[in-house]
Amino acid sequence: MDKPLKIRLHVLSPIHIGCDDVYEPTSFVIDTDKKKLVSFDPLAFIRTLTDRERQELTAIAQKGTLPSIIEIYRFIFNKRSSIKGNEISISQGIIDRYISVKSLALNDRNIKQELNNFIIPRTAYHPYNNTPYIPGSSLKGSVRTGFLSMLALGGGTYKGLDYILAGNKPNNSITNRRNARELELQLLEGSFAEDPFRMLKVSDLLPHTNVRTRVLYAINRRKLDGSKQTRGIPQIFEIIEAGSSFEGVINLQSPPSSAGIKKPIDSLGIRAFFRAVHKHYARNYGVESKIAEQLHFKMPRPLKSHGDMKETAFLIRVGKHSGAESVTIEGNRQILVRGPRGSKEIKDHATTIWLASEQAKPENNNGLFPFGWAVMEVLN
């Protein structure tokens, strides 16, 4: 198949895709009335200052100490009404923390730690207009994992894969492989130039409708007792909100005979390929839904408007904190689990789950959501 397919990604739960860029504490201000983080150009900000204000800011900056950064925080905050920039919604819990950090005593020993914890990673975005997008490489990685997982479940053959896609229980699965790279070589019968996935082309997905971002917390809960938060420090980062949608193009090309690809994916047919990906994520969605019932967090639901599930619309999971089970191959998972007193153990499942939260320490799990869930709809 060489005809590109137009796809639309419907975001079901918060998605963060790292881009090695952050909101620096001295290049944003939080408008506590609007509940917005305003990211601004520091040079443009300085040009708005009077001579006296520039002298005041210069004097603070020349101190070169950690407490002086808190003073810069306060200086910028006092000018917030005149600052223009890119505005992002932000949770009340982070607003409260910002006020707390800004109000630290200048002799507080925790200044360095507090400042380091308040550098906010951005989700992938286009620098020229600050709009978020879904990198094609991220979506392709998710599709690859889902397909390989079901291929392993079917015994590594397309005939076996067809067998389980028809609703049959697997009877010849490839399991307990310790080396992930060797497992992929076995499943695909080739690497690099002979890897059939090099014929799968996925464009970046650009904003379609209702695309919004928000800054919130990620907190870690134990699966067996969701009332207990783990020792992990709550993380702050920017996410793409549920309800956003993106569009792009995916193309599964037929390899030339000279390519040496022994297991071309296009021989399956694009719909069977997508159904295999869907089955992997649907299985994980079912497991996570049971965890949600036990821990009382909210599981996102696909809508009829997203398309006919398994025919034109398929579950997918992308981005940070998508869950170890979603990003590993079924039957071959080796997940490092950290226990008390620095102990470590390898298991076939994760014992904790990361959830999106408005607060660092919510009273209950009712307002929490898992990360990364989306529906990929094929439009033609």
Contact 220, 229 (CB under 8 A): yes
| Both structure tokens of 352 | 């904790």
H or E element in which residue 352 lies: strand 352-357
Alpha-carbon gap, residue 365 to 297, rounded angstroms? 5
Mutual angle of helices 136-153 and 158-165, in 10-degree steps: 90
Q: What pLDDT score was predicted for residue 163?
A: 93
Q: What share of the chain is helix, strand, coil (3-state, %, to 5)?
A: 35, 25, 40
Contact 35, 89 (CB under 8 A): yes
Tens-digit pLDDT profile for residues 159-196: 999 999 999 988 889 988 888 888 888 999 888 788 99
Tell me: pLDDT of 227 over 60: no
User: Whats the size of the chain, residue-wise?
Assistant: 380
Amino acid residing at 3: K
Q: What pLDDT score was predicted for residue 179?
A: 85
54-57-59-61 Cα dihedral, nearest 10 degrees: -130
Single pTM value for the model: 0.93
| Residue 6 or residue 261, greater confidence | 6
Tell me: pLDDT of 230 over 70: no
pLDDT tier, 228 (very low <50, low <70, confident <90, very high otherwise): low
Long-range pairs for 65-73: beta carbons < 8 A, 24 or more residues apart:
66/111, 66/112, 66/115, 67/106, 67/107, 67/111, 69/25, 69/26, 69/111, 69/115, 70/101, 70/102, 70/104, 70/106, 70/111, 71/106, 72/26, 73/25, 73/26, 73/101, 73/102
Say how many C-beta atoms besides its own lie within 10 A of residue 167's C-beta. Answer: 7
Determine the average pLDDT of the residues in 66-93: 92
User: Which are the contacts of 243, defined by CB distance < 8 A and separation ≥ 6?
Assistant: 11, 210, 212
pLDDT tier, 226 (very low <50, low <70, confident <90, very high otherwise): low
